[in-house]
Amino acid sequence: MTATSQKIAIVTGANNGIGFETTIGIAEAGFHVVMACRNLEKAKTARDDVLARVPSASLDVMPLDLGDFASVRSFAEAFRARYSKLDVLINNAGILLYTAETNGDGIELQFATNHLGHFLLTALLIDLVPDDPASRIVALSSLGHKGATIQFDDLTCGQDGGIAYGQSKLANLLFGDELNRRLRASGRRLKALSVHPGGSESGLFHNVAPDQLAQMKAQVEQFLHSPEEAAKPTLYAALSTDVQGGDYYGPTGPQEMSGEVGVATRDPITANIEIATRLWTLSEVLTGQSFKI
């Protein structure tokens, strides 16, 4: 077991974009950061890049493919063998697809990666999180959750990857809210919060065709901000003493694409607790994991 007196954080998808900048911010705050990444070679390069910017950073790189539930379980087992606690879990990693793809279990890949993998990871590690108001579990949602629904009868959303992405980001927000409700009901003091990064040209778009990406950028480029700015809502939720469990933060500028961090607007569907509890039950079934708090 790795001995460290530092606070310990996991950042999923830490090797690029918002996850990389989040790792920088968490390391600067004095945490030992576990960079949980699908591609170890890219993760090791990113680790060197973090150290170039934050020479004092304490880092570990561990393999994690959130779309593969066996990989999630292997990561959790390996983490438990190295560490005895987890102070902050940042469920950052995400994919954006415009084609219909499934994981090895036949589940729509964005739903599996963006939501179910993080649901399973959190379930497997939450007992290591100290019951302290400074302990945080942060879910990264998106402006794309607005107008989305959870299509319980067809998680592929009619094979439409764009709609399925919105569904997965709604699931992230619903999960953060429901987790917080269950923590409060159990008397736990650790906080579950959600954020969105606004608009940023990050590693999320590597699956988008260049001509399509150029068209997207032309429409919203004036609103975009850097990955460093896009990471600020996450860092605020993870580190600030002025947050409450269940809060949802993001940029407050035009169309919430950039600007100062503040309380973000939600789609009204997030107030539907029945949908959130149904999603929780479905997530337990699809991951084969009972989530106990």
Cα–Cα distances in Å, from 233 out to 147, 183, 193? Answer: 22, 22, 11
A 10 A CB-CB count for 268 gives 8
**Can you list the positions of beta strands (E) in 95-156?**
136-140
Pick the closest to residue 123 from 287, 5, 238 (CA basis). Answer: 287
Sign of the dihedral through C-alpha 174, 179, 185, 188: negative
Task: Please give the order of strands across the beta sheet that includes 191-195.
Answer: 58-63, 32-37, 8-12, 88-91, 136-140, 191-195, 248-251, 261-263
Point out which residues pair with 159 in neighbouring strands.
Answer: none
CA angle 75, 76, 80 (to 5 degrees): 115
Location of structure tokens 């100062």: 260
- Choose the catalytic residue: 83, 98, 165, 236: 165
269: left (phi over 0), alpha (psi -120 to 50) or beta: alpha
165 among known catalytic residues: yes
End-to-end CA distance of the chain: 24
Task: Name the token pair of 287.
Answer: 């991951």
Q: Annotated catalytic sites, by residue?
A: 165
